[in-house]
Amino acid sequence: MSPQPTVVLASTSHYRAALLRRLLDHFEQAAPGTDEAPWQGEQPAARAARLAEAKARDVAAQFPGAVVIGSDQVADLDGRILDKPGTVRAAHEQLAASSGRDVVFHTAVCVIDLHGDATTHVDETRVRFRELSDEDIQRYIERERPLDCAGSFKCEGLGIALFERIENEDPTALVGLPLIATSRLLRAAGVVLP
C-alpha cells in the first residue's frame, strides 16, 4: 500500500479547514496570495472556477509533490457578483438587495494531483432570502460582522435565519467547500478516504 500523499488546503479559512477535517485527520494549510481581481465580463461560475484553480496552483508551487485543494465562492444576484463587502454599509446594501430574492452561490473546488494535473468542480446553491427589514439587517450585521463573507452572511451562524430555503446537492458547499465533490477529487488524486 502506497503512503498517503501530503494534502495542502490552499486557504487559511477556518471554515474550510473545519470542513476538510471531516474528510482528513492530517493536512496542511497555506495562504495562496492569489490576485482575486475580477476579469471584465467574467461570469460568476467561471470566476469561482478560475480562482479555485489559481489558488491551488499558487500553493502547489510552494508544495511540490503534494495534493493541493483550492476553493472559491462567488455570490450571484441576477448575474451581479456580490463580493465580500468589507464595510458595514456595503454589507447592508447587499443584504437589502437580496431581501425576498434568490441568490446563487457558485462554490468551486480544484484539486491538483501529484502530477500537477488540475480537476475542478463547481457546485451551485440557490438561497431564497426572506423579506428583511432595515432593522433585521442592522441587527444581523451587528451580531455577525459578516464583512469577509461573499453575500454578507454566514450560514454556519445566524445567517441561516435570513433564509426561506436552500436548494443544493451538497449542504457543505454553502459554507465554502463542497465535500462530496472534494472527496471524489481527492480519491481520484490518490488520497485514501473511507
Q: Which residues are catalytic?
A: 72
> Which backbone phi and psi does 67 adopt, to 5 degrees?
-90, 130
**For residues 173 and 177, what is the distance between their CA atoms, to the nearest angstrom?**
5
**For residues 48 and 54, what is the distance between their CA atoms, to the nearest angstrom?**
10
**For residues 183 and 194, what is the distance between their CA atoms, to the nearest angstrom?**
9
Beta strand 67-77 with 7-9: parallel, antiparallel or unpaired?
A: parallel
Nine-digit cell string for 3:
503512503
